[in-house]
Structure 1
């Protein structure tokens, strides 16, 4: 079934039902249900307005980033069948290159000892996406001749090489020369010292992405006026961080829409149809005269560029970045999101990212906040053994307190259980068999009339 087809049956005669049966209505219904649950939970347990907005802002942010990265992974796995588990490596490349290009030089603009080139943030983002694509090309040239598990080994090894390189003291700082002679011209760099920062990471003291975007759209002044209005009428105690988070999350959702549109157009193009043919049977596509290695390489580079952009949008708004932020668990989170929604479907990829963010990533934290709002902060034992010992005397509170205080570890356990259940019971994802076909026209077998069906069934034959 294609992305533009209904998820249900035909025209029901009810416009609302028909709208909800199609992809835009389905997306809005799922998002509306997620936000309704979060908002009603906060109202029931007495969250303040600031607390409610913080919760919604965090939820929107993670729906945006996981939706974008699940869509990018769907281009690799859902469209082309490329088993890439090195996603976080390309995210790291995008973020670090953006930081090096856009941080002010050392000693300027409050920069620390390790500065940057001081170029505009837009230039840094473009450079980060470009370098992520170039590294995708370097990895893809030798690796895409491999298939399945072998490609996975290469990509995860690459992501770990990137992480350990970022931690290396060798690349912690680099002294730039006074002039850089290129082929046709000479550059006089404004920075003296750049680098990757080693294990301590980098301070991101460039213009924040929200401010840069709104200034580009000439909306920064009206936005500050809106913040003043909120401070005077609703939240008196510094509402700007809360509103910044909510606004940036909405921008990420719009970016998800751009990702969706771009990948849907790509999938319906001749290029995208070849990718789907490679996914189904590479040997057949090769036999039909298609250079499958070239198509896979283009798909891999394109997806790596999108992953680099997703990493930039995820981490660019933070005050600093460190190599431990790019551990392989981020890659596995994105894979779980794609599995939840269903590989091969852009709609399923985004919905998988939204459900993963709401239920598995932010959900346990919300449960902890709700319990603490209802019964207060729980002080429990510091280890699993004392908590289990209390269960022997039929006292559940130490175990509950220990569980809530260890919510991060519990979140990983829940993700593992959900992933195992999905692979056993719903491997096609929440939308079922929505994988886009490689054909540009409907090649499904036409339905015959009920009379003909009954006749063939009575004769013991098969329906034609």
Structure 2
């Protein structure tokens, strides 16, 4: 990029979205590491905290990008995200489980290779999106939201139902496990990487740098794999948004009737993008839970969708870069932040006796003693986390409804429409979305 005399170098670099992501996420890592060092945490403890941050940011980033495809680009109000994630991971696990379970692995599966099982989960989530999209084509805003959240609850309660705890379809025995969920009995999907000779070198390096053992090194390798998947999500949605298909989606978001007047079959476009986004949500859900020992329906309660929406609103609807930044800030400040703050306080202050009730905590304020209320709030910090999320959401909607990077200036044309000039072109505002 050519810098003019009145354009500072730092401002020119800041126009790159990759720089924004690296700077913000890097600042989060530095803040967490600095707090850990000040508290005397070991190198392995700090590295493990940053590894968990990376893991969560990558996962929330993927789902937020998929939701941005629905709401940010097309204006489809989907608040049934958790349901599509559940379909993806449940179908994947049922397809991957052994057909002859042993050792308390519950009900049989199909025993298919893991890549095929994951593809089946993505396809099932996309088909579920088709089932929701077709009858909801004429619904907008609140009505579409009601349809999607109802569908997500139907999915969760269906997986909880004892009727599907074990069932037979086309002569094949399968099962969701009911309220107990599915217990995994398939090999670790990361074994393809763990068995490489280069992974032994990776284990040695992480051991010498951070004091990691093999188990922690595997967790770090998986976090890095998720970052690669996040980059793939970003690339896919970027290409989609810049394609003719993506420009029609933006036209539907701004004025669906105008898009129809131009001869576009808006219903077909909405069905396609809804299926694509739901398939990506199913893949993200699979990546979230697939390496664990199992999954239960309680993992997909409505608050999961609420979290994803907060991340999208923080970053700004319509911006892929904002989706990643919003996910990073949500995880660091609102999701992991309260628990980290709790550990910081416990490391520096001797905890007092917390009252059992709110009345007992408030009453001493009349005599000028705020400590019972403070310790009560500290004892209920993880519960107050939901209150903090609600307050942040209200403030965002009042003060900055567009989020950090929402509604960035963009052009409808795929090529520049300005006249050619021998002079260096002036910098244009805008972004990747």
TM-score > 0.5 by shorter chain: yes
Change (3 A) 1:243 1:273: same
Q: CA deviation at 1:121?
A: 1.5
Answer yes or no: is the 8 Å Cα contact 2:106–2:177 preserved in 1.
Answer: no
Change (3 A) 1:11 1:340: farther
Q: CA deviation at 1:118?
A: 1.6
Matched residue, 1:227: 203
Q: CA deviation at 1:390?
A: 4.1
The CA deviation string for residues 121-168 of structure 1, in whole angstroms up to 9 with x for no partner, is 111111100100011111111112211111111101000000000110
Point out where structure 1 has 5 or more consecutive residues left out of the alignment: 181-188, 445-464
State the distance in 2 between where 1:233 and 1:349 align: 32
- Secondary structure (helix, strand or coil) at the match of 1:142 reads coil
- Secondary structure (helix, strand or coil) at the match of 1:104 reads coil
The CA deviation string for residues 175-226 of structure 1, in whole angstroms up to 9 with x for no partner, is 467xx5xxxxxxxx6xxx42011111111232233334x15xxx63332443
State the distance in 2 between where 1:104 and 1:382 align: 48
Q: CA deviation at 1:398?
A: 3.4
Q: CA deviation at 1:62?
A: 1.2
How many residues in Structure 1 have an aligned counterpart in Structure 2? 418
Out of 208, 224, 232, the position equivalent to 2:188 is: 208
Aligned ranges for residues 441-460 of structure 1 at < 5 Å? 441=415
Matched residue, 1:295: 269
| RMSD value, Cα | 2.4
Answer yes or no: is the 8 Å Cα contact 1:344–1:435 preserved in 2.
Answer: no
Matched residue, 2:69: 75
Higher mean C-alpha deviation, range 276-285 or range 254-263:
254-263
Higher mean C-alpha deviation, range 75-84 or range 98-107:
98-107
Q: Is residue 174 from structure 1 mapped to residue 175 from structure 2 by the alignment?
A: no
Aligned ranges for residues 191-340 of structure 1 at < 5 Å? 193-212=173-192, 214=193, 220-228=196-204, 230-231=206-207, 235=211, 239-340=213-314
Matched residue, 2:398: 424
- Secondary structure (helix, strand or coil) at the match of 1:344 reads coil
Q: CA deviation at 1:404?
A: 2.8
Q: CA deviation at 1:29?
A: 0.7
Answer yes or no: is the 8 Å Cα contact 2:101–2:185 preserved in 1.
Answer: no
Out of 20, 24, 27, the position equivalent to 1:26 is: 20
State the distance in 1 between where 2:92 and 2:394 align: 37
State the distance in 1 between where 2:69 and 2:205 align: 43
Change (3 A) 1:176 1:421: closer
Answer yes or no: is the 8 Å Cα contact 1:231–1:239 preserved in 2.
Answer: yes
Answer yes or no: is the 8 Å Cα contact 1:315–1:321 preserved in 2.
Answer: yes
Answer yes or no: is the 8 Å Cα contact 2:317–2:407 preserved in 1.
Answer: no
State the distance in 1 between where 2:164 and 2:51 align: 36
Q: CA deviation at 1:383?
A: 3.1
Change (3 A) 1:275 1:234: closer
Aligned ranges for residues 7-18 of structure 1 at < 5 Å? 14-18=8-12
Q: Is residue 164 from structure 1 mapped to residue 151 from structure 2 by the alignment?
A: no
Answer yes or no: is the 8 Å Cα contact 2:355–2:376 preserved in 1.
Answer: yes
State the distance in 1 between where 2:411 and 2:132 align: 28
Higher mean C-alpha deviation, range 39-48 or range 246-255:
246-255
Q: CA deviation at 1:233?
A: 7.6
Matched residue, 1:62: 56
Change (3 A) 1:331 1:392: same
Answer yes or no: is the 8 Å Cα contact 2:354–2:372 preserved in 1.
Answer: yes
Answer yes or no: is the 8 Å Cα contact 1:105–1:111 preserved in 2.
Answer: no
State the distance in 1 between where 2:206 and 2:390 align: 42
Higher mean C-alpha deviation, range 433-442 or range 34-43:
433-442
State the distance in 1 between where 2:93 and 2:87 align: 10
Point out where structure 2 has 5 or more consecutive residues left out of the alignment: 419-433
State the distance in 1 between where 2:293 and 2:381 align: 25
Alignment TM-score, normalising by the size of structure 1: 0.84
Matched residue, 1:121: 114
State the distance in 2 between where 1:366 and 1:149 align: 36
The CA deviation string for residues 23-61 of structure 1, in whole angstroms up to 9 with x for no partner, is 111111111111110110100111122321221122111
Answer yes or no: is the 8 Å Cα contact 1:53–1:242 preserved in 2.
Answer: no
State the distance in 2 between where 1:93 and 1:422 align: 31
Matched residue, 1:185: none
- Secondary structure (helix, strand or coil) at the match of 1:419 reads helix
The CA deviation string for residues 296-329 of structure 1, in whole angstroms up to 9 with x for no partner, is 1000000000010111111112222111110111
Structure index of larger Rg: 1
State the distance in 2 between where 1:171 and 1:324 align: 16
Answer yes or no: is the 8 Å Cα contact 1:345–1:436 preserved in 2.
Answer: no
